[in-house]
Amino acid sequence: MIKRLNEMLDVIRGREKKRLVVAAGEDPHTIEAVARAHKEGIVDVTLVGNPEKIAEVAKEHNVDTSQFEIVEEKDPKKAAKVAVRLIREGKGDALMKGLVDTATYMRAILNKEEGLLKEKKVLSHVTVVEFPLHHKLLIVSDVAVIIHPTLEQKIEMIKYTIEVANALGIENPKIAIISAVEKVNPKMPSTIDAALLKVMGERGQIKGAIIDGPLALDIAVSKECLDIKGLKSPVDGDADILIFPDIVTGNVFFKTATQLAGGKIAAVVTGTDVPCVLTSRADDEDSKFYSIALAALVAGK
């Protein structure tokens, strides 16, 4: 079981190397992250973008561009489409967003004729968080894509997080369906969804995990809090996965983790033909590097 993000590297190095295709790979953090990933033996890299700009940025940051395959396309919107096309042609195993806005990147992925979304699948976002003071990684969803997930979408989110957990070596992960309280409250729809998902897990309609909810965050991750409140849960205050009721809750957790709690993250978009790295322009090199590693790990499965 992988308990720290850097432990992914040892697992990946023992597998066949994957190829990462980057859409508009021209910004410093992306170039540094992919160079680091290549040096660590995690991926081979194809950068789609402006060769002159790539060379300029690489030189400024002491990165040797000869280690990359560079496909010329100076227009960022077209670069996103070219990167997706390379994946569809079997010339890449994972996709990454570079210096292109998220809306353009997502449109290229979601294009019905030329995109990467699997038929009848839901696009979602899975984040793996490492906290300095927590004893293991936490897998969370959705903090970036689905604004207000329906019950059906939450089922798909759970399935994606189980796949990521399995890739991290976590068998039968414990999943907490997060709300503000532990009791079902008709005035709080998230508690109703949580109770339904719990029953679906118990009846085998969702397989491969232990599911409980509704659970407040404290008792989902702390056995001490669970015991103090006198509650019982099969998750037992040791959740591997947190499913949030909406993007607001998830995003606040995500930003709190990285900006105030010293958390490190890795994240991929799921439901697509290949894992797709979607990081913010404000994310640092570590976040992008570990997201590449997660994509390579998931692609390996």
Helix, strand, coil % in the chain, rounded to nearest 5: 40, 20, 40
Is 1.10.1040.50 the CATH classification of the domain at 122-268?
no
d(CA 161, CA 165) in angstroms, rounded, equals 6
**Is 94:20 a contact under the CB 8 Å cutoff?**
yes
pLDDT at 250: 97
Q: pTM (2 decimals)?
A: 0.93
Q: Dig out the tokens for 254 from the structure.
A: 């995500």
Q: What residue ranges in 98-229 does DSSP mark as E strands?
A: 124-130, 138-141, 174-178, 210-215
- 245 preceded by cis ω (within 30°)? no
Residues 6+ apart with CB under 8 A from 271: 117, 118, 121, 122, 123, 124, 156, 160
Distances (CA, A) of 185 to 34, 149, 176: 47, 18, 17
Residues 6+ apart with CB under 8 A from 205: none
Q: Which 3 state secondary structure label does DSSP give 147? A: coil
pLDDT at 301: 65
Spatial strand order of the sheet with 43-49 comes to: 69-72, 43-49, 18-23, 94-97, 276-277, 264-270, 124-130, 138-141, 241-243, 174-178, 210-215
Q: Dig out the tokens for 297 from the structure.
A: 């790990």
Which one, of 71, 2, 69, 6, lies nearest residue 40 by Cα?
6
CA angle 245, 249, 251 (to 5 degrees): 125
d(CA 175, CA 240) in angstroms, rounded, equals 6
Query: Count of alpha carbons within 13 Å of 27, Cβ hemisphere only?
Result: 20
Which one, of 117, 70, 123, lies nearest residue 98 by Cα?
70
Just give the CATH number of 1-117+272-301.
3.40.50.10950
pLDDT along the chain (301 residues), means of 10: 95 92 92 93 95 94 94 94 96 94 92 88 95 96 95 97 97 97 95 98 97 97 95 97 97 94 95 90 81 93 65
d(CA 107, CA 130) in angstroms, rounded, equals 30
d(CA 47, CA 154) in angstroms, rounded, equals 34
Q: Where are the domains of the chain?
A: 1-117+272-301, 122-268
Q: How many CB atoms lie within 10 A of CB 9?
A: 19
